[in-house]
Amino acid sequence: MGVRIRSRVVKGDESGATLVIVALLLVALLGMMVLVLDVGGLLVKRRYMVQAADAAALAAAESCAVGAGTNLGNGQPAGDPKTVALTYSRSQGQNEDTTVVPGVGADSGGIVETSTVGCQTSSKGHVTVSYTTQQSLFFAGIFGYGPSSSVGARATATWGPLASGNAVPIVLQSGQLQGECDIPDPSRIDKPCAFWYDFNDFGNATWGFMNLDKWNVSPGENCSNAGSNDRSDWIAAGYPDPLQLNGTPPGAAPTYVCNDTGHSTRDWMDLHDEEGSVKLFPVNDCAGQLPVCPATPDKYDIIGFAQLLVEHVYKGNDPLAIGSFGATGKCTLSLPSLNNGSTTLTSILSTTPKTTGCPTTAPPVSGITNVTVSYPKPKTAVTCGTTAPCVYNPGTGVLTWSGGTKANADITFNWAFSNTTGACGTRPSVPNAICLVTVYQGLVFNSGIIGGADFGSRTVRLCDLPPEVAVYTCPN
């Protein structure tokens, strides 16, 4: 007879299920803690590192764009991307060492991959800052991970000549001396640069204005003039849409812009109202314009841009703009009585009533030469030099007489004024001309595109390299 075994499992009995549920919940809870604390910490850390890398790359590119031998506005040395990148990455909350040199290296901050192309050797290039650090993990070890994980960030910034922007409708000439200086270059950062505009500077009856509505037109385009209100708006705020050089890359093909001969004095007054503002000026290639110089242009050939601070806008008859030409003459001062003692010749010019051939204002002491004293009884002429009775000091302009009182004496000397230089040199007075005094500004941050001729106004912005993107967006 067999043994019958009865099951003690009762239908509907759920004993022991709680343990399974708790175990599953613990796994899920630990997973959530890993996501929140460890993964979240990694993401936050990487976000800060991306910000630091971006700032470091932009700062390093700025340093390369300015070039060695100058200082940046914050006191950092230009042309030293390593130092600048490290400073900026740390200012974003990172303490890792960052080395910006060609190749791959290692330091106390972790493995660092960095490179520069064109720094201090070219007007355009790029710099990459890429580094890693360790982030502590708290719960990931439960799942077999280590106590920390590496976090990396990489950023590339590029610099180069500015090939676009919201320009004003006033052109500069490349390679043509328009004032006391030519088109600015990087060595003129923060230095004055004046330009002279008169009737014939850009051909007959034009002052270098252009119709920005006729930007990048064909050689056969029928040109027309812009409206006065449009010109005023463009001078005040720049053209509303960024103007770009033609071609791929920008500047590789001619960019023709129509000449504008319909301007008025009001336009220069509009620019005068902008003193203290930074403006972007298009630069014309005189040899490429249609027709070529010295003919009056129908279309300018724009090859680049220069960013300038408008410091002064002078009329062409202002002595501050044109200076003055020198003059010479022979002056005779007639004195009722010449007594022993010393006198300064320049001081008695305006107080001696009887004069012949004398200037209306006192010449510089260095312009007074050949001083003599003469008197009639007996008729005598004494050359003044280093011995008595007439001693003249050419360094101070002081005449010392020790020959006794002489009635009706004359003091005679040659005088000369040298040329004085105005902001635009020494020029004849031209009331309708304009002397534009500017200060070269240089860098443009995070705006515009790169290309065209380099007139010192360069843009600095972030760009992408493979493998981040398939298309290379940083200039060689």
Cα separation, 341 vs 227, in Å, equals 70
Closest to 291 in 3D by CA, of 304, 301, 305, 281: 301
Torsion of CA 236, 239, 245, 246, to 10 degrees: -160
Please tell me the predicted confidence (pLDDT) of residue 146.
60
How open is the CA angle 450-453-455, to the nearest 5 degrees? 95
Q: What is the pLDDT of residue 117?
A: 77
Q: Looking at residue 116, what is its pLDDT?
A: 72
The arithmetic mean of pLDDT across residues 379-383, rounded, is: 94
Lowest mean pLDDT, pick from 240-244, 312-316, 351-355: 351-355
Residues 142, 165 contacting (CB under 8 angstroms): no
Confidence of residue 52 (pLDDT cuts 50, 70, 90): confident
Joined together, the tokens standing for residue 230 give 């449009």
Give the ranges where 93-143 is alpha helix by DSSP (H).
none
Let me know: does 210 contact 198? Beta carbons within 8 Å: no
- The pLDDT score that the predictor gives to residue 353 is 80
Q: Confidence class of residue 245 from pLDDT cuts 50, 70 and 90?
A: very high
Q: Give the pLDDT of residue 7.
A: 53
Pairing of strands 278-285, 172-174: parallel
> What confidence category does residue 246 fall into, taking pLDDT thresholds of 50, 70 and 90?
very high
- pLDDT of amino acid 289: 93
Average confidence (pLDDT) over 178-183:
62
What pLDDT does residue 315 have?
92
How far is the C-alpha of 302 from the C-alpha of 215, rounded, in Å? 9
Beta bridge partners of 399: 343, 392
